[in-house]
């Protein structure tokens, strides 16, 4: 293969995420509900204690993409419909936020309006309960921030003999910032708090009066 053949291969390549096939992809939704007083609230779920992953944690509706999903947005709508017992048509005006790439997954957050919230019937196999928080709380409250340190842990059969320094190799430890909100005894933290904080930053660029302040 000569350089002209290499260029021909590269010129039409559309960049993507390296190793994307190794990531699990998820769609989640920030559900907005308008109260009778015209005040927007954010709906949260408390995960069922029967769930294998993160039981009892506060989260947004969402889940892993299925083969039936046309795209990430459809995944978020489908999961929200299943978890809240709503028709998909009750989830409207859905818009994308910035997506997140972690070590093992890509999370695509969206925000949308829940129409007829009185019809919400949580799926008890996944959702212990739901609650809402006034959007004004998040506009007025900065999250608490804490650091969590992570240290690489190579497997037992890791080939230390192939790297400079062997078992004394100077691994780059890293830390991650975790955000926390607390409201009426409910703790919102981790990825959910991170997505919520991002959403707040986006809308704070707009006139706050439209959010009831």
Identify the CA nearest to 138 among candidates 181, 96, 109.
181
pTM recorded for the entire structure: 0.85
Domain range annotation of the chain: 22-210
Contact 114, 43 (CB under 8 A): yes
Contact 39, 134 (CB under 8 A): yes
Q: What would the pLDDT profile of 92-114 be if each residue is shown by its tens digit?
A: 999 999 999 987 899 999 999 99
DSSP secondary structure letter of residue 119: G
Mean pLDDT of 143-163: 93
> Given this model, what pLDDT does residue 206 score?
58
- The CATH architecture that domain 22-210 belongs to is Alpha-Beta Complex (3.90)
């Amino acid at each position: 293969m000569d350089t002209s053949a290499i260029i021909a291969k590269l010129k039409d390549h559309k960049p993507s995420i390296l190793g994307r096939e190794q990531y699990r992809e998820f769609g989640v939704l920030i559900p907005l509900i308008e109260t009778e007083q015209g005040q927007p609230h954010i709906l949260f779920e408390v995960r069922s204690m029967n769930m294998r992953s993160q039981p009892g944690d506060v989260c947004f509706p969402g889940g892993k993409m299925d083969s039936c999903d046309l795209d990430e947005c459809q995944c978020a709508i489908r999961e929200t419909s299943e978890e809240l017992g709503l028709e998909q048509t009750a989830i409207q005006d859905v818009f994308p936020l910035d997506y997140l790439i972690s070590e093992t997954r890509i999370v695509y957050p969206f925000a949308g309006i829940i129409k007829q919230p009185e019809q919400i019937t949580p799926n008890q196999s996944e959702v212990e309960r739901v609650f809402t928080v006034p959007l004004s709380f998040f506009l007025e409250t900065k999250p608490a921030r804490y650091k969590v340190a992570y240290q690489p842990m190579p497997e037992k059969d890791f080939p230390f003999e192939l790297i400079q320094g062997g078992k004394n190799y100077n691994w780059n430890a890293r830390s991650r910032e975790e955000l926390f909100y607390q409201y009426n005894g409910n703790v919102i933290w981790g990825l959910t708090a991170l997505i919520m904080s991002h959403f707040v930053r986006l809308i704070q660029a707009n006139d706050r009066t439209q959010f009831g302040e």
